Structure 1
Amino acid sequence: MKEVLMKFQEISDKLTQFINRYNYLAVDRNANVLFLLTCIVLKYLADNRRIDFEVHQKDIKKNFTLDYIMGLWQGAPLQEAFWEQPMGDPQPIGDEIWVWVGDLIAAAPSLAGENPGLIGNLYEASLLINHKKNQGIFYTPKNIANYMASDVLGSYQPGDEQQDFRILDPACGSGSLLNAVYDQIVAQSSALSPVEKAVQHRQLLETSLLGVDRDPIACLVTRLILTLKGSQYVKPLGVLCGDILTEELVTAQSVDVVIGNPPYVGHKEIQAEYMKLLKNRYAEVYRDKGDLSYCFIYRGWELLKPKGQLIHITSRYFIEAFYGKPLRAFIRRAFAIQEIVDFNGLRVIEGVGVDPAIIRLAKKNRIDEGQTILVKRFFIKNHKPESYPQLIQSLEQNNQQSDLYESFELLQARLNDDSWRLYSPVTQGIIEKIEKKTPFTLDNVVQSFQGIITGNDKAFIFEQNDPALCVFDPVLLKPWIKNKDVKAYQVTEPQKKILYTNRIGAINHYPQVAAHLENHWAKLKNRRECKNGKLAWYKLQWGRDPDHFEGRKIIFPYKATKNRFAIDENKCYFSADVYGLILKPRLYHQVNEEFLVILLNSRLYNYYFKSYGKKLGDKLYEYYPNTLLRLGIPDIKDETIKFFKDSYDRIVELKKNGDTAEADKILAEIDRWFYDFFELSQKEIDVIETNR
């Protein structure tokens, strides 16, 4: 494959150089990719002796199109086009390029006996990574595609009775999933005679395998892969170019299996009109800041027959994300959840900044109370990309005991729409013990607030020793910190200041501030809130309530690898990557800031939060208040509160003096106090301490 890719790239580079020199072809990405695809298809057919290149090369040079080459394979001109999308007028092949084409056909390595799926790999290699990211396009690696396709076999049996069995990939890309499904179905049918195999091939391409994608070239690649799998030419009829979410390309309730890797596209990357259309069409699952992939799950449900199966690899964010609640509620009602493979932040699809999971669902009108979900969740370890194939292989082996992942079952009826807590039996026991002794939640005792968004940091943020600060009224200058400055129990001494302008009524009363900000006027006035008249040009974009920053508060970073809570005593202002907590009036509890910081920084509560918090990558977590504030809080007596207050003061003092060893001793004693309070067993403590 590497040799083919290198040769393919060489031809591509030469073609591009030729185009630039002679303007031989229109500089069009689709036209160039089509030319290169035609080259590789020609090589594949020649290497596998389905056409005689030597005999037909003069005619091929004059008619260098996919339809002509497919006609040679068929033995007669095609009666209908292989691909209906307009691809431009056929271009004659000049001598210089033809030499390169001939060189490719004759070059090693031979493609004889190779899986046509390599055409998809070649196509994917030709896409710019930025194009893929912008479109949410990330193609499915072969090993993951094979694992997902293996689930289809339980529903499909070879023979005439399966002629109405239909398998759909709603965002098929270059066909990796349909390629894997085809291969596994054919492998299962190895006992068929050659004639029966030919019948099966035609049935799969004309009836059973369906694919839809918005990218016409990707659809063409899928067709090519499926066609070349047969010894004789058959046109795939089920691969269509279009938008499965907005077009009626497939009849409702006509599909037995939906298998897909839908685009991962957040709300910021979707055009406003298209988003509005989707929110109307998929209102039950797609709201606010939901992901486009949510719509694909709902659409799959619409297209599936009763008892049909949906198999997706998708972003795992929906499991815990606040905006995934409507989707979670829908899945729980509409499907029997059969399996969830949680990669737990391991980004097993190369080059993709999204954390995937595989879900296997069965469409049901009524969900049995005893419906169990098989969960496979990978342990958090320092895996490297080269080890990812081993991870997928371990899934295929279906080990109940594995060093790579934990496998357990849980009742679907226990899922809560607020967040799916996929707990192993040990974790379930720990959480039940915590929540049995926590009569209220963090939301009951504190209110949260986010840090400031300036809209232009260069205009408002200064180094503490910047001489420019001398001209400003000191009342407007506030200490400024960011995410990295917040540690467990400590806040780094601020090294910056913010020019806090939101309490300025009239800017002409502060000529020095006005003179400084006028240097940034062009950018400041173009902020959205300034344009719509809601914000004066000299103010911070989101200045929040300054009284929140001026008082005593608990602060924590929005994203972190572990719980990092500290009390700010210095009236620090902070950026939006930091959140604050302020105690509500204490009507029915004795909780104070010191106790909360010790509790939240403890090993137990680090484990507790991570058991359901939203993951970002293999180690990072999102400390979004809507998630954090669901933590249960115990009711502590007066004498215990004093113990924690004294312990907090001692820890802060030791850390300030650099005596971490002594501080760690106190923290270990506190951890033991919480283990005893919640009556945890030694086995449960060991799980928490190893933080698996």
Structure 2
Amino acid sequence: MNLQCIADKMSIFFNQYNYLTHTRGNTLFLLKCIFLKYLVNNHHIDFIQYEKELKKNFTFDCFIDLWQGKAIEKIFWEEEDQDLEPLGNLIWEWICDFVTAAPSFEGENPRIIGDLYEESMMLNHKKNHGVFYTPENLADYMASKALGKCEVDEKYKKIRIFDPACGSGSLLNAVYDRMFEIYGENMCDEEKEILHRLLLEKILVGVDRDSVACLVTRLILVLKGNTYVRPLGIQCGDILTEELIIEKSVDIIIGNPPYVGHKEIDSAYMKKLKNRYPLVYQDKGDLSYCFINRGWELLKQDGILIHITSRYFLEAYYGKPLRNFIKSAFEIEEIVDFNGIRIIPGVGIDPAIIKLIKNEKTEKNCEISIKRFLIKNHKSDTYSHLINSLDERNKLEEKPFESYFVSQNSLSDDLWRLYSPITKAIIEKIEKKTPFTLDNIVHSFQGIITGNDKAFIFDNNDENLNNFEESHLKPWIKNKDVRTFTIAEPQKKILYTNEIDAIESDSVVLKHLGKYREKLEKRRECQNGKLPWYFLQWGRDPSHFERKKIIYPYKATKNRFAIDDKKSYFSADVYGLILKPRLYHKVTEELLVVLLNSRLYNYYFKSFAKKLGDKLYEYYPNTLLKLRIPDLDEESTRLFNRFYDKIIKINLLENELNRLEILNTVDQWLYQYFELTETEIEEIEKEG
């Protein structure tokens, strides 16, 4: 089915007609058109016979009445007054064309209604509310994992399956299909109708805050059968704050909860959630964390929870409370880590699937099945293939993911290291011979936030620089300027005003910043009186910038550490490291930079770093400073210092081959020091 063709027709409606001016009304009108088209195309309604009646009473309930040949007992959808305005001839002509013209919905899975809803009517809403719906084959996979290898018996009649943020019903639709695949294959038509009624009235339960999304879910489920059955389990509300479902009453939870960070959540609602879910939702946690806590409350003992969610909780600093909760409240059966492959179209979130079993026992010594996708240059047109590869029925010769087991007891609350056996062996060898963490050796600090770059940042060739005192101007670098071992020559300067006691004493700075004063005064720290209006928003400690330091970018595809001894200042997308005095005599900046830029430490850091997309990593200090560092003797330290000097000289001469030769020597020294095997070395070098 070409969804785009139908979406284009609906777009023409929006562009040509002003039938309903409010967005919700437009959405409901088009949903009626889609619902009617499905009924007509699948021969449930004779469009020609009932055309006059349909034009006169263009409502969901009218369509269902005509389908059933009688009035339904309870109202399906309460129409608002503005939705009942008479249809003009031009609008009706468009409806007739839309309903009767190709492409036809005959024989299509009713989920097409949800697909169209998402394709053409939900773009802005999805982005604004962190709502992204589940692709068909991903929903099918999750349904198969949720239901597992169910035996064909009578137990299914008492089961309850719940989607806590059901959206347009893709997951419940997949569960419905899976249930029929398991139980309906050998049923007669009458038994299938009984199963259909059972699913809609008792088994399938869904909640969503969006009433229109709930309507779409109801429409999809209604159309799964040949006769109308009211889907009693779908209701509008907030499962996180409302008591809509009885606790410990659900057997299976299958969900794709919204991914919403703390910056996008209303402060009052956030406070309510922090009070309601203190075990998992703290500081800068994600809204999706609350859904796992809530799921545990609703599940029966030994109940199953399967979510597709952001993989960030595996490593994120603010995911620590959630990791602790999952470990103590559940047995973790499976984690599918897409490893930065953003398989949901148009979504800037790195997904993972997690399957949990509610288990209140203290000891959780189970083995977790890990499926971790290999890092390659996957293109979006191959994502469907990647998802399909998870289906155990597909006997692929070469799968695009690693498959192995990890003990639940081995998972730390600090972060979950889902190591393959060979990676585990490498990391154990490194950490066996590294008594320090980087945190023991250095202080970390973030770069400056100006609060208004236009007011404080200048190009080097800007004539205005001549007007300022030299002491107020500092060399300024950004993320892109930090390379492996070297730093690009700064092309900008920052006007560092945090050392000016009284702005009135410097008329030049006052005149310049006066042009931006209104905007500068609106910065939060100025409004609450913590900063004078002319200060940088977060100027940090200038002594950190004025000394020798290691700097590195906050986000990068590989380790990029360099020594700065030119008193450069830098933006917040760059971090700095300063040696702690008590260890300064033994560890040097040169040693650390050579070590951190090595292939081995690039591999080591990426083994537990937070991923951002296919190749990008987050170098957040809370994670980076967990790297363990060897206690090298003085001779080895001098050797690394010489390595550094040679690399820097070669960088200046731009002799890349000689530079690579020295870097290879460093790598070989480290491989030997940590007693790595040839197989382990191949694994490290394969990752680049």
Q: What is the TM-score of this pair, normalised by structure 2?
A: 0.97
Per-residue CA deviation, residues 132-178 of structure 1 (Å, 9 max, x unaligned), is 11100100000100110101332755554322201111111100011
Are 2:197 and 1:202 equivalent residues in the alignment? Answer: yes
The answer for the alignment partner of 1:655 in structure 2 is 651
The answer for the alignment partner of 1:375 in structure 2 is 370
Picking from 16, 19, 22, the partner of 1:28 is: 22
Q: Note the 1:208-223 alignment, pairs <5 A.
A: 208-223=203-218
Are 2:515 and 1:519 equivalent residues in the alignment? Answer: yes
The answer for the alignment partner of 2:533 in structure 1 is 537
Picking from 229, 233, 236, the partner of 1:234 is: 229
Are 2:333 and 1:334 equivalent residues in the alignment? Answer: no
Q: Note the 1:29-44 alignment, pairs <5 A.
A: 29-44=23-38
Cα separation, 1, equivalents of 2:563 and 2:128: 40
Task: Please tell me the residue identity of whatever aligns with 1:129.
Answer: L
Task: Please tell me the residue identity of whatever aligns with 1:45.
Answer: L
Deviation at 1:368, TM superposition (A): 4.8
Are 2:305 and 1:310 equivalent residues in the alignment? Answer: yes
Per-residue CA deviation, residues 335-378 of structure 1 (Å, 9 max, x unaligned), is 11011000000000000000000001110011655300000001
Q: Note the 1:222-301 alignment, pairs <5 A.
A: 222-301=217-296
Cα separation, 2, equivalents of 1:392 and 1:640: 48
Q: Which runs of 5+ in 2 are unaligned?
A: none
The answer for the alignment partner of 1:102 in structure 2 is 96
Per-residue CA deviation, residues 26-82 of structure 1 (Å, 9 max, x unaligned), is x11121111111112112111211122222111111111000110111221122111
Picking from 140, 145, 169, the partner of 1:175 is: 169
Classify the secondary structure of the residue corresponding to 1:295: helix
Native 8 Å contact 2:327 2:364 kept in 1: no
The answer for the alignment partner of 1:145 in structure 2 is 139
Are 2:674 and 1:685 equivalent residues in the alignment? Answer: no
Question: More displaced, 484-493 or 578-587?
Answer: 578-587
Question: More displaced, 267-276 or 42-51?
Answer: 42-51
Distance 1:618 1:87, change over 3 A: farther
The answer for the alignment partner of 2:426 in structure 1 is 430
The answer for the alignment partner of 1:569 in structure 2 is 565
Cα separation, 2, equivalents of 1:587 and 1:345: 37
Distance 1:103 1:129, change over 3 A: closer
Per-residue CA deviation, residues 303-344 of structure 1 (Å, 9 max, x unaligned), is 111100001000000000000000000001111101100000
Native 8 Å contact 1:171 1:261 kept in 2: yes
Aligned-CA RMSD value: 1.6
Per-residue CA deviation, residues 384-405 of structure 1 (Å, 9 max, x unaligned), is 0000011011111376974411
Native 8 Å contact 2:25 2:83 kept in 1: no
Classify the secondary structure of the residue corresponding to 2:16: helix
Picking from 544, 548, 551, the partner of 1:552 is: 548
Per-residue CA deviation, residues 203-255 of structure 1 (Å, 9 max, x unaligned), is 00000001111111110000000000101111100011111111111111111
Task: Please tell me the residue identity of whatever aligns with 1:342.
Answer: D
Cα separation, 2, equivalents of 1:588 and 1:652: 21
Cα separation, 2, equivalents of 1:663 and 1:154: 54
Per-residue CA deviation, residues 526-574 of structure 1 (Å, 9 max, x unaligned), is 1111111110011100000000000000000000000000100100000
Are 2:475 and 1:479 equivalent residues in the alignment? Answer: yes
Native 8 Å contact 1:401 1:407 kept in 2: no
Picking from 51, 67, 79, the partner of 1:73 is: 67
Deviation at 1:15, TM superposition (A): 5.1
Task: Please tell me the residue identity of whatever aligns with 2:380.
Answer: P
Picking from 280, 304, 320, the partner of 2:315 is: 320
Question: More displaced, 669-678 or 32-41?
Answer: 32-41
Cα separation, 2, equivalents of 1:87 and 1:115: 32
Cα separation, 2, equivalents of 1:659 and 1:537: 49
Task: Please tell me the residue identity of whatever aligns with 2:527.
Answer: K
Task: Please tell me the residue identity of whatever aligns with 2:56.
Answer: K
Native 8 Å contact 2:146 2:305 kept in 1: no
Native 8 Å contact 1:341 1:359 kept in 2: yes
Deviation at 1:17, TM superposition (A): 2.3
Task: Please tell me the residue identity of whatever aligns with 2:593.
Answer: V
Classify the secondary structure of the residue corresponding to 1:52: coil
Distance 1:164 1:626, change over 3 A: same
Picking from 609, 612, 621, the partner of 2:608 is: 612
Classify the secondary structure of the residue corresponding to 2:371: strand
Distance 1:47 1:369, change over 3 A: closer
Deviation at 1:92, TM superposition (A): 2.3
Native 8 Å contact 1:60 1:69 kept in 2: yes
Deviation at 1:409, TM superposition (A): 0.4
Picking from 118, 122, 125, the partner of 1:131 is: 125
The answer for the alignment partner of 1:17 in structure 2 is 16
Native 8 Å contact 2:166 2:214 kept in 1: yes
Cα separation, 2, equivalents of 1:367 and 1:117: 41
Cα separation, 1, equivalents of 2:585 and 2:460: 40
Q: Which runs of 5+ in 1 are unaligned?
A: none
The answer for the alignment partner of 2:391 in structure 1 is 396
Task: Please tell me the residue identity of whatever aligns with 1:292.
Answer: L
Picking from 42, 52, 62, the partner of 1:48 is: 42
Cα separation, 2, equivalents of 1:320 and 1:354: 14
Task: Please tell me the residue identity of whatever aligns with 2:258.
Answer: P
Distance 1:651 1:323, change over 3 A: same
Native 8 Å contact 2:475 2:569 kept in 1: yes
Classify the secondary structure of the residue corresponding to 1:640: helix
Classify the secondary structure of the residue corresponding to 2:581: coil
The answer for the alignment partner of 1:504 in structure 2 is 500
Question: More displaced, 124-133 or 212-221?
Answer: 124-133
The answer for the alignment partner of 2:352 in structure 1 is 357
The answer for the alignment partner of 2:160 in structure 1 is 166
Distance 1:474 1:686, change over 3 A: same
Cα separation, 1, equivalents of 2:631 and 2:7: 68
Question: More displaced, 587-596 or 330-339?
Answer: 587-596
Task: Please tell me the residue identity of whatever aligns with 1:320.
Answer: E
Seq. identity, %: 60
Native 8 Å contact 1:336 1:367 kept in 2: no
Cα separation, 1, equivalents of 2:655 and 2:365: 54
The answer for the alignment partner of 2:622 in structure 1 is 626
Cα separation, 2, equivalents of 1:403 and 1:653: 45
Deviation at 1:511, TM superposition (A): 0.9
Deviation at 1:95, TM superposition (A): 1.9
Native 8 Å contact 1:68 1:78 kept in 2: no
Aligned residues: 686
Classify the secondary structure of the residue corresponding to 1:374: strand
Question: More displaced, 82-91 or 586-595?
Answer: 82-91
Cα separation, 2, equivalents of 1:54 and 1:410: 62
Deviation at 1:467, TM superposition (A): 1.3
Cα separation, 2, equivalents of 1:416 and 1:662: 42
Native 8 Å contact 1:616 1:622 kept in 2: yes
Classify the secondary structure of the residue corresponding to 2:582: coil
Classify the secondary structure of the residue corresponding to 1:55: coil
Classify the secondary structure of the residue corresponding to 1:248: coil
Classify the secondary structure of the residue corresponding to 1:462: strand
Q: What is the TM-score of this pair, normalised by structure 1?
A: 0.97
Question: More displaced, 404-413 or 161-170?
Answer: 161-170
Task: Please tell me the residue identity of whatever aligns with 1:550.
Answer: E
